[in-house]
Amino acid sequence: MFSPTQHGESMLKKKDEFEDILEERRNSSDLRYALRSYTPPLYKEVTPATANELKDMVLQSDPLCFVVRQVSTESGRPVDEVQAEASAILEEMAHGLQLSTVRFFAFTLSKVFKTLFRSIHVNEDGIQRLQQAVQENPVVLLPSHRSYLDFLLMSYILYTYDTPLPVIAAGMDFMGMKMVGEMLRKSGAFFIRRSFGGDKLYWAVFSEYVQTLLKKGYAPIEFFLEGTRSRTSKSLTPKLGLLNVVLEPFFKGEVYDVTLLPVSISYERILEESLYARELLGVPKPKESTSGLFKARKVLSEDYGSIHVYFGQPVSVRKLSEGRVKRSQFNLMPRHIPKRPGEDINKVVIELAYQLVQNQQANMVLNPFVLLATLLLQNHHQSLASGQKPGMKLQELTDRALWLRDLSRLFGACLQWPDDRPPAEVVSSSLRLHPGLVTISEGRVQLALHQASSPEEELFNQAVIILSCVSYRNQMLHVFVGPALVASAMNISSSTQKNEIANSHSFLRNMFFHEFILCPGGTNQDLSMSFDLLEKARALDVFSHHVLVPEEGHRTLSFLSSLLDPFLQGYQMVCRFVPDVRKFIVKQILAGRLKYSEVLSSDLQKNALAALSRLGAVQKIKGASQGNLKVNKVMVNWLEDTLGEKEAA
């Protein structure tokens, strides 16, 4: 069961040792490795079936037949035709796992990984827990999603440890890649369209397919709770569709339990790093194509550091929902007739989804560069504001990094800082891994921002670098976001009264609901936990009705509030200029009225707009093209004001 304090859990997990799986690959034959016998443990109630038998089971299943007849009645099309369509959908969707393809990948990926990465660390205890869990109940693997590599990497690791290979829900865009799509299919991927909200038949085929895989115990199912790759390295709010699909068999009593297993994949350097930054700045995402993949070959020549893969604690859905869900709600109707789950189930699923993402976050391994990027960004913005020369002396950076290291450890971060090496060496070797982002000249470290011909071009070039650094800073946001929200709440309420801080805190939490992983309904718990952390860090003395900032607390609090500052200001900008946000933000930055070029990130703008829409400040106009919004001026103005710091009276 989840402990509500991720921090407590991250303490626990530190017992798990990581092992580098590439080490053996460097010392023994890849071919032999790819061809060795593979006999994973199986689910105790597994019904062995071929991929084709599975398809038949799905097509003949009661739920699908029901929807086929329903669609046929509603649309007036003959049943056979609808059935054939269902069959075609399934054909397009279904995986075709073949051990030979897996072996091919085992061989080639060994080569590729050894070139790209220094090491791939895996917590073996986690693998053992997984192997145990796989035998007991159907297992759903939920890795974090930062890179295309994620799912190949997962399968590679599971193959290495003789653990059942998962079938993986993949986006349809992969299918566009000739050959590769089919290769991925044969390595266990199944493909789903990105959006099929209204398509009843598609949904029925899809959910029946996934549930059949699950119920038959055919293989662990793997999908990304975040729905898509996070371009910002910040966890995305969980998408509930697939989660609902895999949980339904439990709520309907069709399986005894479902085991959910969050997996945290941390890259020291993400392959798609600069690609993401461009994408966020509005340069369109290159369509996945095979030739594109080959162009990406130059990627192969660079050093991407290490990967850490942490297999988290298995979560029993049964235990988690015990006493909170009435499974008997499905008693009175045949279970193959689609029925919306009750509020009790929805509530549990949402909470579970957020807890799982938080769990992924808690087990993310942070590298020293994350700290350095954070510090350099703050330094950059401060110098912009004060007009000083940007950059820091190496020694100063090291000192501040050690301070931040201790603070983040105190807050429960999983930090991969080699304590046995001199700090200065850690810092410089970490900087060397990112020559495109930071430069060291004359003993000063600064962001690698270059001049360009036009101010706008320069802004975009620099924004690429900033956003890349931001993606490192973002990796540690989850560690600080709780206390940082309190620090910012103290600023915008300019009060030390707990109730006023709580009000502002709740406002901010609501505002940033799409930006950070904040469990719905957890406001009070978050607040008291954040107060505790701040007290532990000696940043705050908390009394029954008010708080006091001790002398040594200012440094921490100002660090924390400046972490959120870009978001506060960014959201203000969005409020001010909605609906033509982007154009105006460029103007503001060029005019020096906004120092955070990361506000240009489409991700931030999208999240802010989502928040505005949820809070009723803007309304999408139906039928109009994208970006056409109806703005509630009063509301937007109020939000903008509230986000700003109050003038000290």
Window 380-399: contact mask with other proteins (x via CB under 8 A)? --------------------
- Nearest approach, Cβ of 62 to other proteins (angstroms)? 8
First to last CA, the chain: 48
Considering the rule CB under 8 A, would residue 627 count as an interface residue with other proteins?
Answer: no
Q: Of 256, 456, 525, 580, which lies in the binding site for other proteins, with binding defined by CB under 8 A?
A: 256
Q: Of 224, 267, 330, 577, which lies in the binding site for other proteins, with binding defined by CB under 8 A?
A: 330
Of the candidate spans 321-329, 408-416, 420-428, 569-577, the one that interacts with other proteins by CB under 8 A turns out to be 321-329
- Nearest approach, Cβ of 603 to other proteins (angstroms)? 42
Q: How far apart are CA 448 and CA 210, in angstroms?
A: 47
How many residues contact other proteins, by CB under 8 A?
12
Nearer to other proteins, 46 or 610 (CB): 46
Considering the rule CB under 8 A, would residue 218 count as an interface residue with other proteins?
Answer: no
Nearer to other proteins, 66 or 513 (CB): 66
Chain-centre distance for alpha carbon 535: 29
Window 134-153: contact mask with other proteins (x via CB under 8 A)? --------------------
Of the candidate spans 63-71, 304-312, 324-332, 431-439, the one that interacts with other proteins by CB under 8 A turns out to be 324-332
Beta bridge partners of 311: 263
Of the candidate spans 35-43, 101-109, 322-330, 529-537, the one that interacts with other proteins by CB under 8 A turns out to be 322-330
Cβ-based neighbours of 629, under 8 Å, separated by 6 or more: 578, 579, 609, 618, 619, 620, 621
Considering the rule CB under 8 A, would residue 239 count as an interface residue with other proteins?
Answer: no
Beta bridge partners of 497: 546
**What is the SS3 string spanning 447-512?**
ECCCCCCCHHHHHHHHHHHHHHHHHHHHHHHHHHHHHHHHHHHHHHHCCCEHHHHHHHHHHHHHHC
- Nearest approach, Cβ of 328 to other proteins (angstroms)? 5
Q: How far apart are CA 464 and CA 273, in angstroms?
A: 10
Considering the rule CB under 8 A, would residue 199 count as an interface residue with other proteins?
Answer: no
Q: How far apart are CA 366 and CA 428, in angstroms?
A: 16
Q: How far apart are CA 62 and CA 213, in angstroms?
A: 15
CA-based nearest residue to 265, from 145, 377, 387, 94: 145
DSSP conformational letter for 324 = T
Nearer to other proteins, 246 or 639 (CB): 246
**Enclosing H/E stretch for 65:** helix 62-75
Cis peptide before 579 (omega within 30 of 0): yes
Of the candidate spans 248-256, 433-441, 458-466, 622-630, the one that interacts with other proteins by CB under 8 A turns out to be 248-256
What number of residues does the chain have?
A: 649
Chain-centre distance for alpha carbon 543: 36
- For residue 78, give both structure tokens: 């003959």
Q: How far apart are CA 536 and CA 530, in angstroms?
A: 10
Is the CB of residue 543 less than 8 Å from the CB of residue 496? no
Q: Of 36, 114, 239, 327, which lies in the binding site for other proteins, with binding defined by CB under 8 A?
A: 327
Nearer to other proteins, 164 or 217 (CB): 217
Q: How far apart are CA 181 and CA 312, in angstroms?
A: 29
Nearer to other proteins, 28 or 47 (CB): 47
CA-based nearest residue to 401, from 432, 433, 379: 379
Nearer to other proteins, 256 or 543 (CB): 256
Is the CB of residue 275 less than 8 Å from the CB of residue 257? no
Window 257-276: contact mask with other proteins (x via CB under 8 A)? x-------------------
Q: Of 328, 441, 544, 625, which lies in the binding site for other proteins, with binding defined by CB under 8 A?
A: 328
Nearer to other proteins, 217 or 391 (CB): 217
- For residue 540, give both structure tokens: 């705050």
Considering the rule CB under 8 A, would residue 342 count as an interface residue with other proteins?
Answer: no
Nearer to other proteins, 319 or 538 (CB): 319
H runs (alpha helix) in 76-179: 79-93, 99-116, 124-136, 149-160
DSSP conformational letter for 546 = B
Considering the rule CB under 8 A, would residue 335 count as an interface residue with other proteins?
Answer: yes
Of the candidate spans 100-108, 331-339, 526-534, 597-605, the one that interacts with other proteins by CB under 8 A turns out to be 331-339
- For residue 612, give both structure tokens: 């505005």
Considering the rule CB under 8 A, would residue 253 count as an interface residue with other proteins?
Answer: yes
- Nearest approach, Cβ of 27 to other proteins (angstroms)? 41
Considering the rule CB under 8 A, would residue 324 count as an interface residue with other proteins?
Answer: no
Of the candidate spans 49-57, 174-182, 325-333, 507-515, the one that interacts with other proteins by CB under 8 A turns out to be 325-333
Considering the rule CB under 8 A, would residue 60 count as an interface residue with other proteins?
Answer: no
Is the CB of residue 230 less than 8 Å from the CB of residue 110? no
Nearer to other proteins, 199 or 254 (CB): 254
Q: Of 8, 176, 286, 334, which lies in the binding site for other proteins, with binding defined by CB under 8 A?
A: 334
Considering the rule CB under 8 A, would residue 45 count as an interface residue with other proteins?
Answer: yes
Considering the rule CB under 8 A, would residue 418 count as an interface residue with other proteins?
Answer: no
Considering the rule CB under 8 A, would residue 36 count as an interface residue with other proteins?
Answer: no
Nearer to other proteins, 200 or 252 (CB): 252
H runs (alpha helix) in 172-272: 180-186, 200-215, 241-251
- Nearest approach, Cβ of 292 to other proteins (angstroms)? 47
Q: How far apart are CA 509 and CA 527, in angstroms?
A: 10
Indicate the burial class of 5 (C-beta count within 10 angstroms; 0-12, 13-18, 19 or more).
middle
Q: How far apart are CA 226 and CA 240, in angstroms?
A: 9
- Nearest approach, Cβ of 326 to other proteins (angstroms)? 8
Of the candidate spans 85-93, 106-114, 253-261, 271-279, the one that interacts with other proteins by CB under 8 A turns out to be 253-261
Q: For residue 31, which amino acid is it? A: L
Q: Of 19, 254, 302, 396, which lies in the binding site for other proteins, with binding defined by CB under 8 A?
A: 254
Interface with other proteins by CB under 8 A: which residues? 45, 253-254, 256-257, 326-328, 330-331, 334-335
